[in-house]
Amino acid sequence: MKPTFFHIIVIAAVLLLAPNFMLAQGLDLNKVQNDTIGTLIFPFDDEGDFQYPDEIDERPLYLSRPGNIERKFEYDPETRQYIIYEKIGNMYYRMPKTMSLNEFVKYDFDRSIQDYWRTRKETDDIAVQQTGLIPQLRIESEAFSNIFGSEIIDIKPQGYVEVQFGLESNYIGDNTLPERLKRQTTFDFENQINISVNGKIGDKVNMDFNYNTEASFDFENKMKLDYAGKEDEIIRKIEAGNVSLPLNGSLIQGGTNLFGIKTEMQFGKLNITTVLSQHKGESQVIETEGGAQKTKFEVKASEYDENRHFFISKYFRDHYNNALRSLPLIRSQIVVNKIEVWVTNKSQNFTSARDIVAFVDLGEVAGNISNTIAAFGPTGEAYPANSANNMYKELITTYEGIRKPADVTKVLGALNNSNFSNGKDWEKIDQARKLTSTEFTFNKQLGFISLNSPLNNDEVLAVAYEYTLAGEVYQVGEFSTNGIDPNNTLILKLIKGTNLSPNMPTWDLMMK
């Protein structure tokens, strides 16, 4: 027969009223419970290992007892036993249980021990959180307590210190250089510090210290030590470090970013404030004209962007100011059509790499770079070109041995003297790297290039370029596309050598 809704209501009522009925009839609860529990395939103790556990004695594999289950202990004087009730409202959650006097004493003792250790653990956790790295110090001295207000010294540091060490060693395999100059070793040391310290000495002295090496402004790094006296003391306050002196009047301006010592004292109704400090701030006046803001600023001449911007010839440097005299119109008839830029290969990228030999005086007009150009004989050309002097002609004829990379130093060694030397007037670079068009930009009319990344002091920069003037095409240096054997060296114009200083002929080619 299919159960109806009436049958379900009757069964639920029987299950709910059964415990109360058994209690009213005075049945043996333990016996009834044991008779009704069947044999389980995987038996377990619903109450845990302890016979009568409390919510304090929770096991990880069991869920916590819900808060709506109420547990009560009642003593039965007739049976001299304790009865444990668990109810949800007025309904019994499970069958009541009994406990003898000895069992109840043991249960109460175990629960007291658990309460004690739990309280101790919570107290220790709070103490650990409040103590920090440096524990509190207690100075048991009456004089110390009178001066600083209490006996406790509490200092709490926070932050981090990061230190990096590095070593860079470069070797130049040039036999013309002295042995001690072939190896260049530099140390790289970087540190980053971000520390804040908050401390209290008694109740009167507070210390606040912040230091960050990455701070954008000086006032972000502050240090302050202040002593606050009581209301009836002569010394009301002493501040050292970052202090301020706000004033209400307009005759004398106060300071908000001072570094020094400030004291506040009182003698009856007389209050005295003294400040001895250094003013680390500055005032700025903003002017507007026609809706636009005008701001004056200063740039030091020594703070230029070095090793990034270069003229490709001294001719362009000498005519730079004249070409910009009528801005926005550029007064220059030259248009650079093509340029190749070569640098020392430190990226280990040999896709577009070749051996090169670069010369300072290549393509220069007589006297524009140095007097050494006279040794090759000027041709009278007024503009940069391979034919501006006889250097290029001599290199590809008399000194044609420089085409072999291994013979460059030997062939040019005969020219090494005080007026023409390696590192000053020419450089040889093995497997130099040609920059792509995305690694630099160049101005076609003013004749200068700008690298995306600055060069190191020991890196070499050389170029070959072609330009048009009055319909004529001029070329300085050799392009990699000129049909020269890839195993031979290219002859280029030297812009920057391994040594760059004001006494070098290439010093003026670097834009500052």
For residue range 82-130, list pLDDT tens digits in order: 888 888 888 887 788 888 888 888 888 888 898 888 887 777 666 555 5
More confidently predicted of 26 and 402: 402
Q: Could you tell me the pTM of the whole model? A: 0.45
CB 335 within 8 A of CB 474: no
Residue closest to 156 by CA, chosen among 137, 169, 142: 137
pLDDT averaged over every residue in the chain: 78
How far apart are alpha carbons 152 and 181 in whole angstroms?
A: 61
Percentage of the chain with pLDDT > 70?
77
Query: Which of 54-68, 139-153, 174-188, 483-497 is predicted with the least confidence, judged by mean pLDDT?
Result: 54-68
Give the position of tokens 């009568």. 52
Phi-psi map region of 380: left, alpha, beta (phi>0 left; psi -120 to 50 alpha): left
pLDDT score for 363: 87
Inform me whether the pLDDT recorded for 233 exceeds 60. Answer: yes
What mean pLDDT do residues 220-231 have?
77
Side-chain-side CA neighbours of 5 within 13 Å: the count stands at 0
pLDDT score for 48: 40
Handedness of CA 221, 225, 230, 235 (dihedral sign): negative
pLDDT score for 374: 47
